[in-house]
Every structure is written in C-alpha cells, then in structure tokens.
Structure 1
C-alpha cells in the first residue's frame, strides 16, 4: 500500500481508511474487521457492543460544548464487494487492499477499492478517535453483510440505540443528499437438467466474454452497460444446438454487480446427420459464427464497452474420455429462458424525473454437469413493483421447470416530506460551499429503510464523497471530494 495515502488530507480520515483497508472484510466473513473495530474501541476507551445480529455499536460521549445534546447515530457498513480484474489472483480473505494515487483519485491495484462503504466507516472511526472535534453523543452503528443481502441491518437488535437522528454515510455523490432508496429482493434459481456424454476427440472450445465495465447493478443499471451472461446466451443461441452442445458456463462476480465476465465450455457438434463426429470444417464454421456475432456485439456496444473482448480457444480433449453436455432439448430451453429474462430498467419513476423505479440484474450463473444455478437482484422504490419485477424475472425459468425461490428481501426507504436534519444540513451545505445541494432518492439499496423497521421514527439522511465505478475493479474515490465530505460531516456534528 502506498504510504502516500496516509499523507492525504484530512489525515484523520485517510489514515483510518488505510487501517481499515489493511483488514480483509468480505461479506459474511467480517470476523477480522470486527476484531479490528473492537481493538480500536479499546484503544480509545470507548464502549463497544455487539448486537444479536452481529453488528457493532460504538458509543462516545459528547464533547464538553455539546453536553446535554441528543445523541446522533452515525451509520456505515463494514463489508465490501470483492472483485478482481480478469486474470488477477487476489486472496480477499487474507490480503489487504493495495491502494495508489492517480491525480485526484485513490484507486486499488486491479481490485475493488472498498471506498463503498469503507470511506464512510473510516469517517466514523476518525470521529470516534478525535480529540478536537465538537460533537454531541455519538452512537456509531457499523453493520455487517450489507453487500450480500443486508442481513446485519435486517437482524438489528432493538433497544440499543437512543438517537433519533441518523447520518448514513453510504452515498457516492458529494453534491447530493439522499433521502430515499429502492428496496431489493434476490431471486435464486436451481435447475436439474439432463445430460448426455459426447466422446473424445469431439472438439471442445472455451468461449470467453471479458473486459466489460460491470459496475453497481442499481446506480449504473440505466446506463445500458452490457451483461456478460446475457451476451453469452446470445452467442449460444446464435450457434444453436446443431452446432454446439453446452457443457459448462460460469459468469458474474457478486449479487449486486453487473456481470463483467462470463465463460462457457462447449463441444462442437457435427454439422450434418451424415457425420459421426465434428471435423475441421465444422470447427471453422463454429469459429466464424462466433466471430460474426461477436463483431455485431462489439459494434453495438463500442461506445459503452470499449474494452470488451469475445474470444474462443480450443481446449485439449477431456481427460475422462467424454464430455457431459446438456441435451439439445434442455439447452434450447435454457438458452431461450436466459434470452427472455428481464434484465435492465423495468420501469422509470412517474413521480421523480430521471429516477429508475424498478430494475432487474441477472447477476451470477454456474452451470455444471447436471445442475445449473443462477440468480438475479430486483430493485424497486415501490413494494408492489418490486414483487412484479421479481415475478417477471422468474417467469421464463418457471416455464422450463426450474426451481425458483426468493429471499426475504429488504424494504425501500420512502422520502420524508418533513425532515429537520435535511433542512439543517441544506443550510450548512449552502454556507460551506456557496451553492445549494441536490436532494434525491437513489436506485441503490441503503440500509436506512431496514434500520427504520427496528427503530421507527428516525430522522435520516445519507451523504458521502464522490465514488465512481463501485463494485468493479475500476472503483475510485475522489481526494478533493473526501475533503469536502469531511468538512460537511464535522461541521454538521458541531451544530447538532
């Protein structure tokens, strides 16, 4: 990790971020980062509680000038999305993030940076460690497993927080206050399919789609970024069962990221019934069919996916002497279902101009010998619309006989028409930066709506520094924006 990160201003924030990013913190495996926070609390003689959901609450008394003021909840999540660039091997469970400075941006070397939501968590730690900042009593709520279903927030224990105002530090634009967000639901699909075995030396090929931008499946879903799984289904459909038999397929990196990579292993089949096995002519026809369709795809996405690569590579014969593949009937059903499934924007909000109301992202897929599993995340700011888009996502898979189930989902956060913290912070922002701040809802999932189920009546707002390309290996955080964010946070705390 570059020591230069620790020299950035404000040093309190960036040093806490550097310390945090040295600790592995994958979703559902937060033991190391929770131990780090407990040790941090002990070092600064702060009370640290763990609730029944596995979340941490660190409490700090008010400074002398704010004694007697109401407590304020500062909230962020500890886990991060883990994704490495194509071809990069990185042990996220044991390695810290390797950061570097690129002009006004902090980046990671070929992995996600963890600024989502590491900068928010680091800001909270910096406030907790401070000796000279003015603030009311602080209740720092550091949740777990936000990125894999918000289980920490969903299992949040009541009765441990007394604050009535909550500052969520998980937004990614420094000139916007977020006062509402979409809810989400995961749709999980499992399909037992029939296979037959094609004997060696039937030619086996790997088809690879890589180099896509990927990104956040909520914040970037409206940009038309390519979904690698959907594109692979298109290539398989173009070839048809008369040309290839599908053996394996794997794609996606996280439930809440647009898939940037997908691979498939296929066996090239004989082009006519007269042949017993495929020959060089059939292989050439397959390679040309893929190349022609790939050229069309690359042309269609040339502006938004300039680094996309679609390649084929001939593989050695199967060491087992045979290759299990889907039957023709199953393959046609499977590919057709993937082609038909809802992916992308489902409905724009009729209430808020430019806001996506409902969307769907085909996130992950893994096709093995006789079982295929895949999943998608559906989001909506309207509960009935969330159920509708999830049902639409499931429909083609139910038609082919797959088992479809949904998790419990999480609610959206409805904007409040009256918010004291919003009014106060709008004034502080104008005073500090000389212009008005934007106020909006977002199509990402924030924990505010979930937390409000356990602690109803909270007055909540979300804000943060500029972070781009979250959930991808191109994630980056603006240094100048982090300074602006810190100034806003510390000034607000001094006024509450």
Structure 2
C-alpha cells in the first residue's frame, strides 16, 4: 500500500515517488504527468518552463553560501514502461501503480513499478521542494518519451539551459557511475500476404508462451533470458512438414525496449496428425524449458484445442517468415574490445505480429559503435528482405562517448570512496541514456549518470532496493555540497 511506501526513508523522496506513481505516464501519453510537474514547480513559486516538445524545466536558486558554485542540471525522464502480466487486471491509462514493500524491496502488483526513471524524478522533486538541503543553482530537466524514441531529448533546443554540469539520475546499480552508453535504431520489417480459406480437414490449436522474466533489452540483453518470439518460432518452425501446420495469427512481445515475455499463436493442423502434433510439440516444449530452466524457471508453454481458424496465411510466406525469424540475430552480436564485459552491439527481436494479411516484426538494435550498429541493422534488413519484407530504419539516436577526464567524474568518485570506503565502478552501459543526445546541443556540458539499484526494469518483476535508495540519497546530497565553483 502507498501508506507503507510513504513511511520509508528518506521520506521526502518516497513520498514524491508515491505522488508521481499515482499519475498514468506511459511514453507518448505524458500529458497528465507534464501538467503534474508544471503545477508542482509553479506551486513552489519556481520558474517553470514547458518547451515545444513537452519537456519541463524548473529552476531554483542556490541556497545561502552556494551562490558561487556552478549551476547543475538535474535530469530524469517522466515516462515509464507499461508492462503487466497477462493475468493482471490493470488499466495503465486510468490507474496509479499499486506498490507494496517486500523485504528490502519496493515492488508493484503484476505491473512495472516505474522506478525507472520515477526514482530520479522523485529525487529532483524532493530537492526542489526542500528548505534545508544545501545546493548550487539548479535547473531541473524533466524529459518526455525516453523509453520509446527519446523525442524529448532530441527536441530540447540549445540555449534553454545554462548549467555546465548535468547529473543524469537513470543508472540502475548503486555502485556504478555511468560515463557512456549505447546508441540505438529501430528496425521494422513489414509485409502484406494473402490469406487462404482453411481447408475442412484441418483443426485449430492455440499455442502460448508465457512466464518469462522479460526485462530491459539493453541492460539485460547478455543474461541469457528467454525471448518469447524466438521460442514461439522454434515451436512453429517444422510444423508444416510434420503436421501440415499453417499459421493463422501470431501476437508476440510488446515494447521494442523490453525483452519479450509472452507470445501466442493460432494455427491449423491436419486433423490426422492431432495426436502426434500434441505429443511432439509438448516434447519440444519440455526440451526448451530444460534448456532455459536456470534463467527462466517459470516458463510455461501450453497447447490447447480451439475452434478452427477461418483463414491461414499463404504457405510460401509462412515458410519465409519462420526461417527469417530463426535467422534473425537476437541477443549479443559483439562484445566491446575496449571495455571489459561491456556489450558493444546487440539486437532485441521485440515484436512479431501476424494478423489479417499483415506481418510486422519490430527490433531494437543497440551499439556503442555507430558502424557496428549499422552493420547489425543491415544484417537484419538483409534477412527480412530475403523473405519479401519491406524494412524501415527509424528512431536513430547516438551513443554517449566516455570522457574519463571529466571533472565531475572525479568529484563523484572521490565522494563515493569517502562515503563507502570502496571504489565506484566507472563504466559505460549498453542501455540508451539521454546524455549522448543532449550533448549534441550542449557539447560543453560535463555529464555523468548514477542512480539507486533497480532490478527487472521494463518488466512486471521491476523492483527498487530500499537500502540502496537510502545510500543513493546520501550520495546525491554530498554531490550537491561539493559542486565546484563557477
């Protein structure tokens, strides 16, 4: 319950998080949260600006004795990934997130929590509202649509901000200080196909894949998590040769930046092969579950008889589709040769939809090396074009090149060592942060990223560690005290 969340420490941060999580805030549907943040700033009597794309900037003067320090931009994004379990009854357009405390973690009931990046937003709100936190002049930047296109960061014009230091509060391990990130590009394949009337000798089945963990398609792409689209395709791949299987519909995955957790397909098979189909498909399902049992212990693959579908897809297109999905790269494509243990390039086969004569396959390709990103994007393009699909590249955004000589990096690493007695992990990440985009219009801004520990982002298993938020809050307050002079 929200009451339990509001009693957690630091209260000022958790209360702002609870306030924020009462507001529906899906990517590209941020009207209500934009209004909420604007009202928040205006009610505090602070200069509040909404730019042309919907980003909100709130400015607060330095506290006494901090007037000579450099102005700091505190930045987080307002939108959150909306994901829920299939058996969870929840309307993201009208309901606030239903949170609860579970040991040292805050979780949501059957949905994403919105800690990514709501805890960053709540941190900034708490600082803006405070009367006893020492800080330099602050420009709070709340961007929109980070999760589905970074259009807020892309649309932010130069000249709106004067700060020379940007603290991005969107990293998800509390011992990590981020100095770089991957860029990305959407690869979308589409095709129109002919539907055929299903022959009378065929019967219908529904195949479902669910129970996968899902997760962040950048930060967790190397973990070996199951991809529902790949699993479903494996179940369908030899179906025509073995059982006369014909596909009627497929609906797999959801958001491009979330590893697919669920997929369902409606198919027709030759009635004569019913017993063999059920037996061999269940046998293959058990093989797949055994392969993935360590990472995906809750994977469920179910086959159930349904009414025979009225139409099926053209056989030639079906064969091309299943082969293309099998061939399409999913997961890590290349590890970095320069930064140990960093994924350089990857792809998430995020969405597969087959319905009413139309195919759509959506991928998100990421890389910290621009040429490698485009190499993989073209690999996918070639794979899908060979099956007659049209392929579109969109949503291209740059990575953020690490600056190991960053002055603010030296400030943060020193403070972290003083607070914890340990060295922070300074690293680039495989997620897409807004810093690289913001740096295009603010090339002289010194940027850094950090945050509390959040697990399972972009999935209903998302959770924020309470003790980590306390550690992070102390870190934030110390950083603000130690911002260098102008």
Query: 1:408-427, aligned counterparts within 5 Å?
Result: 408-427=395-414
Q: Distance in 1 between matches of 2:48 and 2:338?
A: 42
Deviates more, 1:87-96 or 1:441-450: 87-96
**1:371 maps to 2:372:** no
Q: CA deviation at 1:317?
A: 4.3
Go from structure 1 to structure 2 and tell me whether the alpha carbon gap of 1:124 and 1:268 turns closer, same or farther (over 3 Å shift).
same
1:485 aligns to what? 472
2:438 aligns to what? 451
2:348 aligns to what? 361
1:316 aligns to what? 307
2:251 aligns to what? 250
**1:403 maps to 2:387:** no
Q: Which runs of 4+ in 1 moved over 3 A?
A: 199-202
Structure 1 unmatched ranges of 5 or more: 270-277
Instruction: Please point out which of 397, 415, 422 is paired with 1:428.
Output: 415
Structure 2 unmatched ranges of 5 or more: none
Q: Distance in 2 between matches of 1:70 and 1:131?
A: 20
1:178 aligns to what? 178
> Contact (CA 8 Å) 1:238, 1:293: kept in 2 or not?
no
Q: CA deviation at 1:200?
A: 5.3
2:264 aligns to what? 263
Q: CA deviation at 1:417?
A: 2.8
**1:466 maps to 2:448:** no
1:282 aligns to what? 273
Alignment RMSD, CA only?
A: 1.1
1:131 aligns to what? 131
Instruction: Please point out which of 284, 297, 313 is paired with 1:293.
Output: 284
Instruction: Please point out which of 307, 326, 337 is paired with 1:339.
Output: 326
Q: Distance in 1 between matches of 2:314 and 2:253?
A: 24
Q: Distance in 1 between matches of 2:320 and 2:331?
A: 22
TM-score using structure 2 length: 0.97
1:83 aligns to what? 83
Q: CA deviation at 1:70?
A: 2.0
Q: Distance in 1 between matches of 2:90 and 2:281?
A: 31
Question: How many residues end up aligned between the 2 structures?
Answer: 482
> Contact (CA 8 Å) 2:149, 2:395: kept in 1 or not?
no
Q: Tell me, what secondary structure is at the counterpart of 1:260? A: coil
Question: CA offsets, 1:421-477, max 9 Å, x none?
Answer: 000111111111121111010001100000001111111110000000100000000
Query: 1:387-402, aligned counterparts within 5 Å?
Result: 387-402=374-389
Q: Tell me, what secondary structure is at the counterpart of 2:275? A: helix
Question: CA offsets, 1:70-93, max 9 Å, x none?
Answer: 210000000000000122121111
Q: CA deviation at 1:290?
A: 0.9
> Contact (CA 8 Å) 1:184, 1:410: kept in 2 or not?
yes
TM-score using structure 1 length: 0.96
Q: CA deviation at 1:243?
A: 2.3
> Contact (CA 8 Å) 2:202, 2:269: kept in 1 or not?
yes
Q: Distance in 1 between matches of 2:37 and 2:200?
A: 55
> Contact (CA 8 Å) 1:53, 1:157: kept in 2 or not?
no
> Contact (CA 8 Å) 1:83, 1:473: kept in 2 or not?
yes
Question: CA offsets, 1:244-283, max 9 Å, x none?
Answer: 11000001121101101000000112xxxxxxxx2xx421
Q: CA deviation at 1:121?
A: 0.6
Go from structure 1 to structure 2 and tell me whether the alpha carbon gap of 1:200 and 1:43 turns closer, same or farther (over 3 Å shift).
farther
> Contact (CA 8 Å) 1:52, 1:157: kept in 2 or not?
no
